[in-house]
Structure 1
């Protein structure tokens, strides 16, 4: 992250862009021709754009905005698409609506007669009184209820933007606290003497701890400009936000920064700044729950925003000759707020913000538990469900989840380092809201037309290699893999399937035999062939030899030959892009391409099982197979797709789908239903909008580096497998023999649970600690996981530091 900008860069960012001065007639003709709109025109003010209000005979009102030639068109498209996203996600939020051209374009262009072409936008006119106008009219004071309403409106807007992203969000903006502009010496030169000491102390803390902490916080596209002149309200009977305008300062930044802008803007209008901030925060959390890390930096971000407001306004006045009477009049309020906040202890400030940083919309029971309580619950479970599998020696009764945390019935918090189903975090409020809203509207199957299933398929197609564009939606990964095998058999005319040893691909009657993790390989049916997994640490070929990929992939050719000799022939190679059942193995770089090529030569279709590694878990790619430069014939996906809601899918080439449909076809009553596809779209919104794939890459690299460090400090750690946020720590008796320490792995798993961290033990030898958390996992979460693992490893009893296959 850049920590400061030079004054030359600042001058460039703040360079004055003058509004164009085109005649009204060509503008009116252009709008009639391109938008089909005409009516009464009234010119409005505008520093950077030439603006008009247009009232049509039908009673509609629009704002027509003609941009300067210097305006970045990409930024205008970014704003327009953000407004359309808000309208689609939460149409009750009153923001300007984009009026597209008759040709369905976001922008149009009008010539100025001198060879220039100006971008034109047409937006709906949002009526209302600004907060500043209200304050001027009724007295400069906002009540606690007023501040709650303002905070709630901003939280709702932040949530609506949560799933949106666009390359225009990465532009440099003067008001973006994340770019470190506030730290420039040039800005400090414009700070009033009476607050200089407070400012110096605040900026020292901002540079030392707050700015470096921002990359670890939740980030998304943020409005970044929630202040008195951009928020429209109705005052009676109580203050209600009726509109938000001016989306020109949007950036990709932290949620905490977005909130800090509002706090910095509105705390002046209350006699108690901390109480005012707390009211805004509580309102915000009605729609956008905050984490402890967000609140920890809030005061520093508010101070930085106030300092930036003071410095930039004075800088603009001195250097660029800008004169804004309203901003000048606010300077004394900003300075007073800096003085008051600078002397408030940060811990006391955080404690005042909210009684709970992990709100629970539905209260969970908290009971005192004993071993007898757990025993009774297990007995009751067995009487209903039979001898079904549970996690841990003493199972947990979980009652609530939020983000990367889970809570049991006694209120104990656990860090979830295992659950890839809640891919974007447990009970993500944006996903929950989407589910509830659609469930209360309509749920029906995909034989009726509905747009969400189409939007989901189109969005996912855009993330995949060219040609993978025809979708079948189902409910589970097992169903997706079952269907993939059926398609491969139908299209190829063969029956056999090649898998890797110790794999897992589901539990239907077709794919259960392909899940060797669940039964003894000697019992596999004749149409199944298993090849050795590409384990370069303890497999049949090891080390760093250049031909490992060729040697392992050669077994695919042998397997296909055996199937051909026995009669079934090879219909499919069904393979993971990370070998979960084998402990998060990462194959040699050329293995996947060679295996795909050999399977194809044998007449088989290549099926990539992305139930585990899909949807950004690898960090480097959306889909795990992409890291190896291959293009499967079929891709299956499941668990993470709906963040816990049952939806899964299969995508294939159009020619394969048409051939299968010609021969048999397929229908699934619940696959692709309206609720499921809305949930999947919302989950994809969050995955992309919060850049969780990037988070998986960054936090995964941090965690893997830390885990690799254990190899040199703890004799039990032999190797660390995996990539992104899918890692396996292999425990061994000693590094020379590599004998598996299975009992130690089980003990470590249980000890970490007692330390409040949930992991699993896995692998064909049961000696691998599996770490596979939600993608919202933070570096702080990673450090907590590492600390618990390190503690558990150091406490393993001597009699368990032995090889054991029991």
Structure 2
């Protein structure tokens, strides 16, 4: 078959006409000769000229003095970057006179585009002093174009969804603008046109030495060239750029955003199928991408939004992408084999890797992704089949005898309670036990379910969904046909039987069975309910025997394998290709397809919770489980927790779970009863504090602890004023909200609250370079004490965090607290150390944050919460016996749930775990390592203004300008969203919300630190 499809050499006036059927009946051999001639054109090399010659041309032809010349890549043109004496930039193009027609065509095209509003720059033709677009000098053709600044898309190591959308839209706008261009003398056909790809591949594939690559190229030739031969001639045609690859699309910064700034190199422009540019662009941008098909879909969606595509174009786009990718890889091998000239930018291993990948993607799958990107069904036949299946239960016979019941193998499944989600073997064993223990009826695992058998990190595509349902039954159990059908005559890898059904006019689909022993012959007719085989015994995956049932309307006979599951991020496409087969179980309601709960849960929150109640992220996560430093959402996806300082020793620590369960089963009451665990815990807790701090008030939250400390301070001093650090947060009760700037700013600062400057050495009055910064910041606190005393209202208390959390992860400078404490003592003010966020060894250097300022710093009150119970609702305030006795006349203190037996048992065991596992030391060492990794990123990412912290409490501050320190607030939120999408959880903090707050469990390891740093690096490289 002749695969040399040709587009007309003369373009139509408008781009909506179709390419007429080609009538060239030359054989492949003859066309191969033409293709070889075109190949010789791209490998002939560029003219060799001297710098002196180019300077003379610039002076004599264009009247320019050349201050600098720099060579650029080129296939047929000698391209040179020129900076003239005035600093203006150009591209000088020198080629043979044989390229005159192409040069004139290009000049006319650029003139046409110059008047269009594209939203990006294109080169402009600089005419000679005599007004010519191209001039012959010494037998060479000379042209000059304006320089278009920008960074090639190919040199952006990662591309954000927003950038890809902008690239696709820019390509669509360019196509729209070029559609109205026509020229009486089009250029000669060239090597890279899709019309000649068959002959070009035939001439290049024999030079490929890598057998795997050669096999992949062969698959693409066999699968896609016949389709192009049949359908390419019917596509709309227009003048296209024809080399819209990632090197010719330029990007630049628009504020914090990276967007398309220009398109260059129109040297291959010609009349061709209008879709050619998008195919070229996609095949180039897909190279090296984590999800190449997703890149193609994103580009296609944006292109379609700017320049709507016809369904015939969309259906041929994936074959064109595959063929273009194959042509680039094969031509590269041919150039290397012959040591010929060629553009070195395309000689990338990624091109060959993409060919290997594309050769394994069925055409229906690739096309489905692009159809869905344009708002079309994944396959024309899927909708009728899915609609019939959705209502076809009454027509179906259950595949096995007996009642059916759903077994939950998703992350919510009870069978996984107690299993370690980090260990696939543990999960598989739990699933097997759950299946075998299932009662009543035959267990069925649901369609669409993200099985919780081997969860992967969110950034690695975890959460694959099932494309069928599994009926678990003993080996040898008879299996029946749910519907009348015919046995497919073609075997499909990965399945044991395929039946095709036509239950009504216009509806045709197949049912696929895996795990089935059958003797049915191809072409055999089967009636509904008739036996089709028996459940086989060999599963090979540790789960009990089962038969898997899938449904599809897509012809799969030619596929190398039928997938049993699909990536969650592609779920909608795959659910169309393999619709829900649950109705094939017959009329029963015990089994339904898996559905997510996130939307329902959010609706419930919105209905019953305050509107001001926040959630993390613009697209919240429905969490189900957590273990150590990882969360698991309802889809089984894993997220690294760098955010949650509540779970000090890691989520669901087995020792804490055991202790809580044991104590809950023994006794749980209130502290007015006597039980040993209360006194034992109080003794252990106070032993971690300086001598004298030995009376514990057990409460339920850090807010209550701070509230109580302030109440006692005011009672004992008979004063009302409180000195704080600005931007701090101390809780939500009325009392502590009045001393929390982030709260009282919404209703006005109370007159009794006195904020002092944040001791921020990055943004504050005294920086990292000031060795006396601590004392200088303390001076402002002391001035406040003195001023209040002079006004006759000395403060009741000084309330502080040892590291400001809500204030922006600000580390107190050395020498800050000592003079403040001395001044407080002089004025009779009590000191309150708010350790709710930073206590229990989190800062590494000491068990309590205030201790990092020196051994002589001893507060009057220490408040604690959050980490004290690893998520169990408990808190405490500790003070001296003297202060406690002085407060006793105020009345009895009692908290119903504070200090209950379960809380004390959990708190006691937490102290044991911190000590036994050396977690305070880990916070010191690994916390420093994490900041080193993050600080190293600042050398490559200007957005990072500062990295600071202590132990496992760190902050990364983002700024738009390192000189002005303008907060990058919007960018920080986007970074957090992108980190979440890569499987790492962190969130903004600080007054401007431009600081990442990093406060992971103390079990965070160096490997976790590397994982987080790599994710952040990738997000910052990606841009947006």
Does 1 or 2 have the higher relative contact order (CA < 8 Å, sep 6+)? 1
**Quick one: which of 553, 565, 569 aligns to 2:778?**
553
Structure having the larger proportion of residues in helix: 1
State the alpha-carbon separation in 2 of the partners of residues 725 and 422 from structure 1. Answer: 12
Flag the 1:509–1:727 CA change in 2: closer, same or farther, 3 A: same
State the alpha-carbon separation in 2 of the partners of residues 354 and 569 from structure 1. Answer: 72
Query: Per-residue deviation at 1:451?
Result: 1.1
Secondary structure in 2 aligned to 1:399? strand
1:470 aligns with 2:695: yes
**Quick one: which of 999, 1006, 1022 aligns to 1:772?**
999
State the alpha-carbon separation in 1 of the partners of residues 936 and 663 from structure 2. Answer: 47
Q: Describe how 1:554-593 pairs up with structure 2 within 5 A.
A: 554-564=779-789, 568-593=793-818
Q: Describe how 1:64-83 pairs up with structure 2 within 5 A.
A: none
Secondary structure in 2 aligned to 1:617? coil
Query: Per-residue deviation at 1:563?
Result: 3.7
1:509 aligns with 2:731: no
State whether residues 625 and 632 of structure 2, in contact with CA within 8 Å, keep that contact through their aligned partners in structure 1: yes
Flag the 1:620–1:383 CA change in 2: closer, same or farther, 3 A: same
Greater shift after overlay, 563-572 or 417-426?
A: 563-572
Secondary structure in 2 aligned to 1:573? strand
State whether residues 288 and 429 of structure 1, in contact with CA within 8 Å, keep that contact through their aligned partners in structure 2: no
Aligned to 2:266: none
**Quick one: which of 598, 606, 624 aligns to 2:849?**
624
State whether residues 629 and 1000 of structure 2, in contact with CA within 8 Å, keep that contact through their aligned partners in structure 1: yes
Flag the 1:714–1:746 CA change in 2: closer, same or farther, 3 A: same
State whether residues 557 and 602 of structure 1, in contact with CA within 8 Å, keep that contact through their aligned partners in structure 2: no
Query: Per-residue deviation at 1:562?
Result: 4.3
State the alpha-carbon separation in 1 of the partners of residues 952 and 785 from structure 2. Answer: 33
Query: Per-residue deviation at 1:540?
Result: 2.4
State the alpha-carbon separation in 2 of the partners of residues 288 and 592 from structure 1. Answer: 46
Flag the 1:454–1:796 CA change in 2: closer, same or farther, 3 A: same
Secondary structure in 2 aligned to 1:523? coil
Query: Per-residue deviation at 1:372?
Result: 9.4
**Quick one: which of 739, 743, 757 aligns to 2:966?**
739
State the alpha-carbon separation in 1 of the partners of residues 963 and 828 from structure 2. Answer: 42
Secondary structure in 1 aligned to 2:640? strand
State whether residues 596 and 634 of structure 2, in contact with CA within 8 Å, keep that contact through their aligned partners in structure 1: no
Query: Per-residue deviation at 1:522?
Result: 8.0
Query: Per-residue deviation at 1:793?
Result: 1.3
Q: Describe how 1:68-467 pairs up with structure 2 within 5 A.
A: 374-387=598-611, 388-467=613-692
State the alpha-carbon separation in 2 of the partners of residues 540 and 353 from structure 1. Answer: 63
Secondary structure in 2 aligned to 1:511? helix
1:785 aligns with 2:1024: no
Aligned to 2:820: 595
Query: Per-residue deviation at 1:533?
Result: 1.1
State the alpha-carbon separation in 2 of the partners of residues 568 and 444 from structure 1. Answer: 43
Q: Deviations over 1:197-252 (max 9, x none)?
A: xxxxxxxxxxxxxxxxxxxxxxxxxxxxxxxxxxxxxxxxxxxxxxxxxxxxxxxx
Flag the 1:471–1:719 CA change in 2: closer, same or farther, 3 A: same
State the alpha-carbon separation in 2 of the partners of residues 677 and 587 from structure 1. Answer: 32
Query: Per-residue deviation at 1:617?
Result: 0.5
State whether residues 731 and 742 of structure 1, in contact with CA within 8 Å, keep that contact through their aligned partners in structure 2: yes
State whether residues 424 and 774 of structure 1, in contact with CA within 8 Å, keep that contact through their aligned partners in structure 2: yes
State whether residues 747 and 796 of structure 1, in contact with CA within 8 Å, keep that contact through their aligned partners in structure 2: no
**Quick one: which of 623, 634, 648 aligns to 2:861?**
634
Flag the 1:353–1:639 CA change in 2: closer, same or farther, 3 A: farther
Query: Per-residue deviation at 1:560?
Result: 2.4
1:527 aligns with 2:752: yes
Query: Per-residue deviation at 1:569?
Result: 3.0
State whether residues 737 and 744 of structure 2, in contact with CA within 8 Å, keep that contact through their aligned partners in structure 1: no
State whether residues 527 and 568 of structure 1, in contact with CA within 8 Å, keep that contact through their aligned partners in structure 2: no
Query: Per-residue deviation at 1:543?
Result: 3.4
State whether residues 549 and 594 of structure 1, in contact with CA within 8 Å, keep that contact through their aligned partners in structure 2: no
Aligned to 2:951: 724
State the alpha-carbon separation in 1 of the partners of residues 906 and 1023 from structure 2. Answer: 43
State the alpha-carbon separation in 2 of the partners of residues 407 and 391 from structure 1. Answer: 15
Query: Per-residue deviation at 1:374?
Result: 3.9
State whether residues 556 and 599 of structure 1, in contact with CA within 8 Å, keep that contact through their aligned partners in structure 2: no
Secondary structure in 1 aligned to 2:980? helix
State the alpha-carbon separation in 1 of the partners of residues 766 and 858 from structure 2. Answer: 26
State whether residues 494 and 568 of structure 1, in contact with CA within 8 Å, keep that contact through their aligned partners in structure 2: yes
1:676 aligns with 2:903: yes
Structure ID, larger Rg: 2
State the alpha-carbon separation in 1 of the partners of residues 696 and 745 from structure 2. Answer: 34
State the alpha-carbon separation in 2 of the partners of residues 414 and 286 from structure 1. Answer: 19
Flag the 1:565–1:782 CA change in 2: closer, same or farther, 3 A: same
Flag the 1:582–1:440 CA change in 2: closer, same or farther, 3 A: same
State the alpha-carbon separation in 1 of the partners of residues 774 and 891 from structure 2. Answer: 37
State the alpha-carbon separation in 1 of the partners of residues 794 and 808 from structure 2. Answer: 30
State whether residues 498 and 529 of structure 1, in contact with CA within 8 Å, keep that contact through their aligned partners in structure 2: yes
Secondary structure in 2 aligned to 1:632? coil
Secondary structure in 1 aligned to 2:754? strand
Aligned to 1:148: none
Flag the 1:796–1:293 CA change in 2: closer, same or farther, 3 A: same
Query: Per-residue deviation at 1:291?
Result: 5.4
Flag the 1:354–1:673 CA change in 2: closer, same or farther, 3 A: farther
State whether residues 597 and 622 of structure 2, in contact with CA within 8 Å, keep that contact through their aligned partners in structure 1: no
State the alpha-carbon separation in 2 of the partners of residues 294 and 685 from structure 1. Answer: 29
Secondary structure in 1 aligned to 2:877? strand
State the alpha-carbon separation in 2 of the partners of residues 694 and 708 from structure 1. Answer: 21
Flag the 1:464–1:743 CA change in 2: closer, same or farther, 3 A: same
State the alpha-carbon separation in 1 of the partners of residues 926 and 421 from structure 2. Answer: 20
Flag the 1:477–1:468 CA change in 2: closer, same or farther, 3 A: same
State the alpha-carbon separation in 2 of the partners of residues 554 and 522 from structure 1. Answer: 29
Query: Per-residue deviation at 1:386?
Result: 2.8
What runs of 5+ residues in structure 1 fail to find an aligned partner? 1-284, 296-351, 356-365, 798-806
State whether residues 619 and 697 of structure 1, in contact with CA within 8 Å, keep that contact through their aligned partners in structure 2: yes
Secondary structure in 2 aligned to 1:766? coil
State the alpha-carbon separation in 1 of the partners of residues 859 and 956 from structure 2. Answer: 29
State the alpha-carbon separation in 2 of the partners of residues 511 and 726 from structure 1. Answer: 23
Q: Deviations over 1:577-610 (max 9, x none)?
A: 1000122111211001122222222211111000
Query: Per-residue deviation at 1:649?
Result: 0.5
Q: Deviations over 1:377-405 (max 9, x none)?
A: 32221111131211101111101111101
State the alpha-carbon separation in 2 of the partners of residues 681 and 374 from structure 1. Answer: 36
Query: Per-residue deviation at 1:550?
Result: 2.0
**What is the TM-score when the length of structure 1 is the normalising length?**
0.53
Query: Per-residue deviation at 1:544?
Result: 2.1
1:703 aligns with 2:946: no
Secondary structure in 2 aligned to 1:401? strand
Flag the 1:476–1:522 CA change in 2: closer, same or farther, 3 A: closer
Query: Per-residue deviation at 1:573?
Result: 0.6
1:493 aligns with 2:752: no
State the alpha-carbon separation in 2 of the partners of residues 437 and 741 from structure 1. Answer: 49
Query: Per-residue deviation at 1:703?
Result: 0.4
Query: Per-residue deviation at 1:496?
Result: 1.1
Query: Per-residue deviation at 1:292?
Result: 5.7
Query: Per-residue deviation at 1:705?
Result: 0.9
